Structure 1
Amino acid sequence: MSRPSSHIPTRSATGTGGRPFSGGGRGGELCRHDAWMRTCFDRSEHLLDVPALRRLWGRLRELPRETPDAMVHGDLIPGNVLVRAGRLAGVLDVGGLRPADPALELVAAWHLLDERPRSVLRERLICTELDWQRGKAWAFEQSMGAVWYYLDSFPAMSRMGRRTLARILADGA
């Protein structure tokens, strides 16, 4: 069975109304986050293997963008996803819904799922390998910030960042 070349499925009927990505926050070009990532690397020297993570960012930041903007949540982390009986029951914190890179929604695969369920999700999605890798890159960018920023103020969020980074590294990134 072949996959369409550039479609990340959504059940939302909410279109962008012709609005493009605003340029603020996540969702545009990965390479535009270099200054933020430098801050993250500098603040993580005592916490993570920063040289290896810098090399990884060097590859991820170059992933091109091919898909048009779509309306995205932009923050599908464990605290914003409600699960009941092993199934998605709801999504919280939708105030930031905006046009952006649809691959941004794929961060959920890295933040929420271990290797086996993530691979099942990947098999069932209609998205390109490039979109999948961009989703991984957005999860990386978000996790790098979470590890150091929330270390003392919200340790569970810092641990989520570490767990996601470990999943990304284990994936052969």
Structure 2
Amino acid sequence: MSAAQSYPGPHPVDDDLVRRLIAGQFPQWAGLAVERFPSGGTVNEVYRLGDRMSVRLPLREGGAGDVALEREWLPRLAPRLPAAVPEVLGAGEPAEGYPWPWSVYGWLAGENPEAGALSEPVALAGDLAGFVTAMRSVTLPGAPEAHRGGPLASLDASTRAAIEELRGIPQEGIDCDAVAAVWEDALRAPAWDGPPVWLHADLMPGNLLVRGGRLTSVIDFGCVGVGDPACDLFPAWNLLPPPAREVFREALCVDDATWERGRGRTLSQALIALPHYRTTNRAMAHNARHVIRAVLEEDQHDVAPNPAPH
């Protein structure tokens, strides 16, 4: 999920609209092939434009602000980061009945990693930690507040509502008492009291590109800004298996309180996503289920009693 937190129906977008927008605003590219790119994203539609470009159009008003955010910050962040990020090649404007700004980007090759099917999980954990470290080291002035970058307690009402909704969906098999307990633990963790740090703030598998198991690109910076460093710990539970998760944590030197907040944030996102997307977005629902399992398994490990002495 990205910055849009309400769920209105998407604005209709199709190949013909994209062709008209390109022809009207970027005639130099009007002869290039346009083809929808299948994605599990929920806020934007992506189309291939020829072999070397993509067109990204918000589907909802809540995603339109992301366009300006990326136009402003991507060129400034790109030289400071170890992985490739989208390059804005064209700034599209509303036209042809389409109501919001949109963008043309350079195409970034690669594939989305899939939890449980990583070929180089430990190496990928190191790559992700390197990216997060680089983001945290950015010192650009005038930073916006990251989406999800504020206090964990701001997610309390929506998280509890999602848990109650899941109680009414027994076929999902979620141990709602267990996830509620993990959420309570996260709320009790000390708040971040250091300076806010730069965050991508949406490090979902769908926003990562890998080749040969290694991170090559990070996309979708619509949530970017500064806030609690716990917000960029999502891959620990939404992607990495336990041994790689520990490599990720150690590389970032994450203290216990930040780890608890990060786990709580990742769990909250999954709990809110699952009831909404369980029948409409297979990728989002699948990842939400994975996160819930990973968090509960880690929590059980954390509280497991020591074996009895022989």
Mark yes or no: TM-score above 0.5: yes
In structure 2, which of residues 138, 152, 161 is the aligned counterpart of residue 39 of structure 1?
Answer: 161
Structure 2 CA distance for aligned equivalents of residues 56 and 14 of structure 1: 32
Letter in 2 for 1:34: D
3-state SS, counterpart of residue 58 of structure 1: helix
Q: Partners in 1 of 2:190 and 2:292 — Cα distance?
A: 21
Residues 137-170 of structure 1 show CA distances to partners (whole Å, capped at 9, x for unaligned) of: 1111111112111111102211101111111111
The answer on whether the counterparts of 2:198 and 2:227 sit within 8 Å (CA) in structure 1 is yes
Q: Is the 8 A contact 2:185 2:260 kept in 1?
A: no
User: For residue 19 of structure 2, what is the aligned residue in structure 1?
Assistant: none
> What TM-score comes out, normalization by structure 2 length?
0.49
In the alignment, what sits opposite 2:23? Answer: none
Percentage of identical aligned residues: 33
Distance 1:61 1:16 in 2: 30
Which ranges of structure 2 fall in alignment gaps of 5 or more residues? 1-131, 301-310
Report which of the two structures shows the higher radius of gyration computed on alpha carbons.
2
Asked if 1 retains the 8 angstrom alpha-carbon contact of 2:186 and 2:261, the reply is yes
Is 1:63 the counterpart of 2:63? The answer is no
Which residue of 1 is the match for residue 175 of structure 2? 49
- What residue in structure 2 maps to residue 10 of structure 1? 133
User: Match for 2:213: what amino acid?
Assistant: G
Q: Tell me, in whole angstroms, the C-alpha distance in 1 between the residues paired with 2:289 and 2:139.
A: 34
Structure 1 runs of 4+ with >6 Å offset: none
Report the counterpart of residue 120 of structure 1 in structure 2: 247
| 1:21-36 equivalent positions in 2, closer than 5 A | 21=145, 25-36=147-158
Cα deviation for residue 62 of structure 1 reads 1.8
- What number of residue pairs does the alignment pair up? 164
CA RMSD, aligned part only?
Answer: 2.1
Distance in 2 of aligned mates of 1:155 and 1:169: 21
TM-score by length of 1: 0.84
Deviation readout 1:40-94 (Å, 9 max, x if unpaired): 1122111322122112211111212233211211110110011111211111101
Structure 1 residue 20: Cα displacement: 6.8
| Correspondence for 1:88 | 215
| Higher RCO, 1 vs 2 (CA within 8 Å, ≥6 residues apart) | 1
Q: Return the structure number with greater strand share.
A: 2
Which runs of 5 or more residues in structure 1 are unaligned? 1-8
Structure 2 contact 182–299 (Cα < 8 Å) conserved? no
